[in-house]
Amino acid sequence: MSTETASQPVTAVANPPTVPLAAGFDARDLVRISATTQQPTPERQLTPVAKLIDVSKCIGCKACQTACVEWNDTIPEIEENVGVYENPHDLTPDMFTLMRFTEYENEETNNLEWLIRKDGCMHCEDPGCLKACPAPGAIVQYSNGIVDFIHENCIGCGYCISGCPFDIPRLSQRDHTVYKCTLCSDRVAVGQGPACAKACPTQAIVFGTKDDMKAHAEERIADLKSRGYDNAGLYDPAGVGGTHVMYVLHHADKPSLYEGLPDDPVIAGTVEAWKGPTKTIGLAAIALAAVGSIVHNVMTRPNAVSVNDERQAGDIVDAAAPPDSTPPRRDQA
Amino acid sequence: MTNSWTDIKNTDLVIVMGGNAAEAHPCGFKWVTEAKHHRGAKLIVVDPRFTRTASVADMYAPIRPGTDIAFLMGMIRWMIENDKVDWDYVKNFTNASFLVREDFGWQDGLFTGYDEGKRDYDKASWDYQFGEDGYALTDPTLQDPRCVWNMLKAHVDVYTPEFVENITGTPRDKFLKIAEMIGETSAADKTMTSMYALGWTQHSKGSQNIRGMAMLQLILGNIGVRGGGMNALRGHSNIQGLTDIGLMSNLLPGYLNMPTEKEPDWTTYMESRQFRPLMEGQTSYWQNYSKFMVSFMKSMWGDAATPETDWAYHYLPKLDVPAYDMLRMFELMHQGHVNIYFCQGFNPLLALSNRGKNTEALAKLKLLVVMDPLETETSRFWENHGIYNDVDPAAIQTEVIQLPSTCFAEDEGSLVNSGRWLQWHWPGATAPGQAQTDVWIMAQIFLRLRELYRTEGGVVPEPILNLTWDYADPNEPTAGELAREMNGRALTTLTDPNDPSKVLVEAGQQVLNFSQLKDDGSTMCGNWIYSGSWNENGNNMARRDNSDPDNTGTYQNWAWSWPMNRRILYNRASADLDGNPRDPSRPLIWWNGERWEGYDVPDIAVTAPPGQVMPFIMNPEGVSRLFSRGMMRDGPFPTHMEPFESPMQNVFNDRMRGNPVARVFESDVEQFATSEEFPFVGTSYRLTEHFHYWTKHNRVNAVMQPEFFVEISEELAAERGIARGGMVRVWSKRGSVQAKAVVTKRIKPLICGGKPVHVVGIPLHWGFTGAARKGFGPNTLTPFVGDANIETPEFKAFLVNIEPLAGEPIA
Ligand code: SF4
Ligand code: SF4
Ligand code: SF4
């Protein structure tokens, strides 16, 4: 009898359908660099991207959380159960995103609502973290809106944590640098969507250009209004210039219902006041020439420090960026 | 599923009851999201807990565990009372007009024929009235008081909204709102899909829960149509394949039956199976039983299966009891009657009720063989793990052999999903260490056994010695070889019966599908329902074309579904008596004047004229059954029964405990509790962060849900002085567990019989092996009793008590 095995699958279209995004962004696309006086002026403007999280579609399955751990190779602690569904109990340097669960008794409808929000970096257009950061090149922003941390340049002062209106960055005790969601900049750079969006079974998380995501949100909001959520709306708060991670909320009039989502986030006054040409602390010598090494780190190294890297952590704290050559520029897609 | 996952996008209304699709089937649930987003479909959830599915529902109603039949019969009553009935469908496609025997009746919660001593019914009266021609008598006007419709009306009359509320605890306003939403789908151009799972099966009357919804769906005309159906969400990957292939003690592949002792010979066996039509001109497809059975016997024993040997019928074991289900096996083991137990991909220590009994049972074995890709609690049942497995290894003499096997991602083959799709897959990784495929392991055991029989002889060696084993490498048959065997092939050249000069299939070629199977020994087929999956066109299960003309959701060229690549069963019922789509906006198949055609493979002979041959071709009536005759052990209509352990007496009959025909072993009866001793209702379930007892071995899953917990209402927490996150002890008459307490608004006390009923929710994913924290499962607590028809244990409704644990948790 035949021992043949089946031929390999031929997939006509991926399911769910994914259209490759324009690939490739790099040092040329930086619009902001922390603690750097000479902000670069890019020659081109990338199309702003956004991740849209439709809270009304989310079933709280944590596939996104799991995908984030897998993609970023982090190793979060196996904690205890403390009487809630949030695990880990908070964002950690090893857990860049977290499902937060709120049991809300809606007095108007007399219904219980279980509001489940995927927490994580909002990728603010006007990033408080970056503005608060005193270490040159530790936090950067690309013209597509992604805000990324460059660990080699981070000095572990934690100012970004107080600068963030969403309480997102977390300081690692292992390498004394700060971690948060990268918006999967390493995936987006090669034309892929974020790992969390890819894993989401209900497509509650979608990713694309910010304009497309807003249009998609409109459709969802209309659907929610038809189901009686009169205050359904988009969360794209103006106080931080809008965000590149947005929510569709059933109760957009009350964001704070969703476990700590600020109603009206703004960058703390102290950060804004402090911001200025004098804010760098002795590291101002970093010039644009160093940008190459920053980008090299973004594109070629994992964003997280693995256990094996732990021993070298001490060196990284050193402010000097590793002397590295600028990587070859990739062709524009 | 009657329909498919992808078809759910076609629906107008989803009801999730007896399941928690978002939680336990998150990937399939995307089609619900799709229906909501693009069709504006609504989602109803009825569940004792406000679940993850409820979190995205338009309507949620709570229900007391184990009272679904009352809810569903109440729904049927409401539909009839409010004329929310798809009359064309009911009159033409159900047995509503069939006349029921005069001596059939129902009283005090029992149908006629009950024998308390035997705990069984004499089902003779549960039947139609027949004419002299052997066909059933009907009254198409539905006037006769003995017609099924009027019998049903009388049967459900007691289930008023007040009655339902009293039993189920579902607030009346919510019940009525849901009734209105469901009632809308009685229109021909509106459909509802029912998505259910183990929340319905794991009761001592599980099959009747499902019957209840199936009847409601028939009354609404929602079976056989796009966006409708009875959709069982299977709990394990490939558990659908397990039942299809007949891995139950009483089944053979393709839902053929294992013979019983009462069927000593082939003729007796076949007599009761080739159902003659009960109405003129109907298909009664099981008339072909002998073709499937003979082809199966040929696949097993080849040349030893001849007409002279009755196809080697004497090789088949004959059951002395209805089934050796897992409850019976462990009962026998507990009594010391079992020496060797092979445990393949199964973790009964955690997965079966009343763990204490099972630990004792395993300790009485001489040999336990565990084939599994992972460490299981069962393979370590003899190891002391403190409070989590408090045994004395020195006192256990069972020899345990662990055979590491590959997991699904490490081998090739097909998995059958809930929608009956056989999807071929390829290894994604190389198996670690000494792991071997299950097929290799089984082949090695078989070859060695055969050698022993050959050299040493033994009792009845023939079935082993003559077993067909013509694989290229006898040590490891390939998935392709096995799949081709299941499809079946011609043993001699098959010709067209009408034109013998026309060759249909050459000898040795794969048959096209089961329509070519024969009962004269000229074909072989390992599993008739899979016939067509790997024919001369190749491996149809490996097809990956996801084009879907006109977006019907049928995806005809993606993988292959049984039977015949049909995506929606009973799809003939989507068209009216003239053969036109009942809902022109959602056509499925139609009669073009000469034949049936459409988007799906017609579930009827393609030339069967509309108006004559009715859609339910597997039933000898040709129509579907609102009254199921003697097909089920516990009644032709569902009737409300309490769980074996319940906070309430059966309102129909206070002497009745549980399902009156469920099988219970004597020793277990003593271990059933009353609500005086154990005041709260326990129910067990899965969480989305884990898959059964597997993923606790995976660190990432362990991070997402690290530790065993139970869920209780704020009211019960206050009553017992339990703090959120505190340790509690939960115990039943059979055992005790310790857990963290999740205190939630998502569980609320229900008012039943005027008294509050508290529910304690007990998720099931922890044990004493793996990466997650050590913990218990609910089955330390659950009762040892199963469904009356299929013996699925009653995991979903039992009695417990709860208290805060004094002192610190034990590490
Ligand atoms: S994967 Fe999607 S549905 Fe699941 S928790 Fe994340 S956002 Fe929600
Ligand atoms: S959310 Fe916080 S960490 Fe993220 S970009 Fe905004 S300020 Fe920075
Ligand atoms: S975008 Fe990437 S880094 Fe951010 S939460 Fe999603 S998976 Fe994690």
Q: Is residue A302 part of a domain?
A: no
Q: What pLDDT was estimated at residue A19?
A: 54
Q: For residue B560, which residues of chain A lie inside 8 Å, CB to CB?
A: none
Instruction: Average the pLDDT over B774-798 and give the result.
Output: 96
A21: number of CA atoms within 13 Å, CB side?
24
Give the ligand with the smallest distance to the CA of A121.
2
Surface of B (151-190) touching A: CB under 8 A: none
Q: Is residue A147 part of a domain?
A: yes
CATH of the domain at A72: 3.30.70.20
Q: Is residue A140 part of a domain?
A: yes
Q: Is residue A4 part of a domain?
A: no
Tens-digit pLDDT profile for residues A176-226: 999 999 999 999 988 888 999 999 999 999 999 999 999 999 999 999 999
Q: What percent of chain B has pLDDT over 70?
A: 99
Q: Does position B516 have pLDDT exceeding 70, yes or no?
A: yes
Tens-digit pLDDT profile for residues B550-605: 999 999 999 999 999 999 999 999 999 999 999 999 999 999 999 999 999 999 99
Q: Is residue A159 part of a domain?
A: yes
Say if residues A245 and A51 touch (Cβ distance below 8 Å): yes
Cβ(A164) – ligand 2 distance below 6 Å: yes
Give the ligand with the smallest distance to the CA of A85.
1
Q: Atom of ligand 2 at shortest distance to CA of A240?
A: 6
Tens-digit pLDDT profile for residues B351-406: 999 999 999 999 999 999 999 999 999 999 999 999 999 999 999 999 999 999 99
Averaged pLDDT score across all residues of chain B: 96
Instruction: Average the pLDDT over B229-254 and give the result.
Output: 94
- pTM for the model stands at 0.93
Tens-digit pLDDT profile for residues B734-768: 999 999 999 999 999 999 999 999 999 999 999 99
Instruction: Average the pLDDT over B7-34 and give the result.
Output: 96
Backbone angles phi, psi at A127, to 5 degrees: -80, 115
Q: Atom of ligand 2 at shortest distance to CA of A267?
A: 7
Tens-digit pLDDT profile for residues B522-540: 999 999 999 999 999 999 9
Q: For residue B24, which residues of chain A lie inside 8 Å, CB to CB?
A: none
Q: What percent of chain B has pLDDT over 90?
A: 97
Q: What pLDDT was estimated at residue B718?
A: 97
Backbone angles phi, psi at B372, to 5 degrees: -160, 150
Instruction: Average the pLDDT over B695-709 and give the result.
Output: 97
Count of residues making up chain A? 333
Q: Which amino acid is at A331?
A: D
Q: Report the side by side order of strands in the sheet with B399-404.
A: B340-344, B367-372, B399-404
Tens-digit pLDDT profile for residues B393-408: 999 999 999 999 999 9
Say if residues B567 and B556 touch (Cβ distance below 8 Å): yes
Instruction: Average the pLDDT over B228-254 and give the result.
Output: 94
Q: Which domains does chain B have, with CATH numbers?
A: 6-235 (3.40.228.10), 237-289+305-417+421-460+535-562 (3.40.50.740), 666-804 (2.40.40.20)
Q: For residue B29, which residues of chain A lie inside 8 Å, CB to CB?
A: 59, 201-202
Q: Is residue A320 part of a domain?
A: no
Say if residues B738 and B665 touch (Cβ distance below 8 Å): no
Instruction: Average the pLDDT over B142-171 and give the result.
Output: 98
State ipTM: 0.93
Q: Atom of ligand 3 at shortest distance to CA of A72?
A: 3
Residue B399 parent element (H or E):
strand B399-404
Q: In this predicted structure, which of B275-279, B507-511, B794-798 has the lowest mean pLDDT?
A: B275-279
3-state class percentages of chain A: helix first, strand second, coil last, to nearest 5: 25, 15, 55
Q: Is residue A262 part of a domain?
A: no
Chain-chain contact of A103 with B745 (C-beta, under 8 angstroms)? yes
- Give the number of beta-carbon pairs within 8 Å between A and B: 168
pLDDT lower than 50: segments of chain A: 1-18, 276-333
Q: Report the side by side order of strands in the sheet with B413-416.
A: B413-416, B421-425, B560-561
Owning domain of residue A97: 27-49+62-204
Cβ(A120) – ligand 2 distance below 6 Å: no
d(CA A57, CA A232): 13
Tens-digit pLDDT profile for residues B98-126: 999 999 999 999 999 999 999 999 999 99
Structural domain count of chain A: 1
Tens-digit pLDDT profile for residues B251-304: 999 999 999 999 999 999 999 887 889 999 999 999 999 999 999 999 999 999
Q: Is residue A256 part of a domain?
A: no
Q: Which has the closest alpha carbon to A120: A297, A257, A261?
A: A261
